[in-house]
Amino acid sequence: MKNLLNILVMVTLVAVPVFAQGEWTIIPNPDTQMHSLYSIAVTPNGTVHAGGGNGTYIRNAGSGFANQPLPAGNPYDIKCLFFVDDDIGYLGGENETISKTTDGGANWVEQREVFGGATIFDMYFWSPDSGIAGGDNTTILRTTDGQTWTEVYNNPAGGEIRSIKCIGPNEFLAGGWDENYQGILLRSEDNGLSWNVVDIGTTDYIKRIDGYNSNIYITTGGSPQMLKSSDRGNTFLAITVPATNGLTGNLCCN
């Protein structure tokens, strides 16, 4: 599902692109305010969920796409969506927004905590109730009950965690940039309980991590290159790409 999310997250102000039968079909955005859409998730039953500006949440349950209201008082941008199965899903966004659904997106319950109001940019769950989320101030949060969150990593000086990737059983990489806008990659080998900094050999900031087991790929900003690891993210090799600027978009690896 995560790979499909990365393919589909190319979203404009007015349309949601959906991949079907080898072609792209433009589906009009049902949000009358035309807020930008930042994240998308597809569940095993084919339901598409998308989140965006000012708390915009859209799904195609039943008869086509419709704008779905979120809990009152949530005007914050939705930056990421993750569904464990057809029913259980989570969303993250501005102002430490984290919400959970247990009925496929029909209803959401807020789980906002007080960790300085950081924006949540990415999240990953390895079970219906256990997962991690990352965001501003290089913050990484962790839950084991799907309700309460504990801060397990933080840099008060600043920075952001922009991408979280599971690379194997109990193993995760989290990447972004530090307070000086230089790339930072963190690694956990205990299901997100503790994190160590990985030397990636460049100061370019990290935008996206993908891959699994031995082969890991990272897109960076600042220079036209990707980073590749063939040893489970322990060391990285820079790969020059045919671009004039850094790669700031999403990444998809099979």
Across-strand partners of 99? Answer: 91, 110
Distance CA 46, CA 159 (A): 35
> What residue ranges do the domains of the chain occupy?
2-172
Quote the pLDDT of residue 118: 80
Quote the pLDDT of residue 133: 95
Cα distances (angstroms) measured from residue 2 to each of 43, 45, 80, 83, 212: 10, 15, 11, 9, 12
To which CATH superfamily is domain 2-172 assigned? Answer: YVTN repeat-like/Quinoprotein amine dehydrogenase (2.130.10.10)
Distance CA 205, CA 246 (A): 9
Task: Find the radius of gyration of the CA atoms of the chain.
Answer: 17
Quote the pLDDT of residue 15: 41
Residue type, 195: W
Count Cβ atoms within 10 A of the Cβ of residue 145 and give its class: 0-12 exposed, 13-18 middle, 19 or more buried. Answer: exposed
Quote the pLDDT of residue 3: 35
Cα distances (angstroms) measured from residue 66 to each of 9, 47, 69: 18, 12, 10
* Span 158-188, pLDDT tens digits: 899 999 999 988 999 999 999 998 999 999 9
Quote the pLDDT of residue 5: 34
Nearest to 108 by CA among 137, 78, 142: 78
Q: Give 10-residue mean pLDDT values along the chain (254 residues).
A: 36 40 61 74 90 86 69 76 96 88 90 73 96 93 93 90 93 94 93 94 87 84 80 86 54 48
Distance CA 108, CA 135 (A): 21
The tokens for 61 are: 């349950």
The tokens for 21 are: 């039968």
Residue type, 241: V
Whole-prediction pTM value? 0.80
Name the strand (E) or helix (H) holding 6. Answer: helix 2-8
Name the strand (E) or helix (H) holding 4. Answer: helix 2-8
Quote the pLDDT of residue 75: 74
Stated length of the chain: 254
Residue type, 163: S
Q: How crowded is the C-beta side of 173, counted as CA atoms within 13 Å?
A: 29
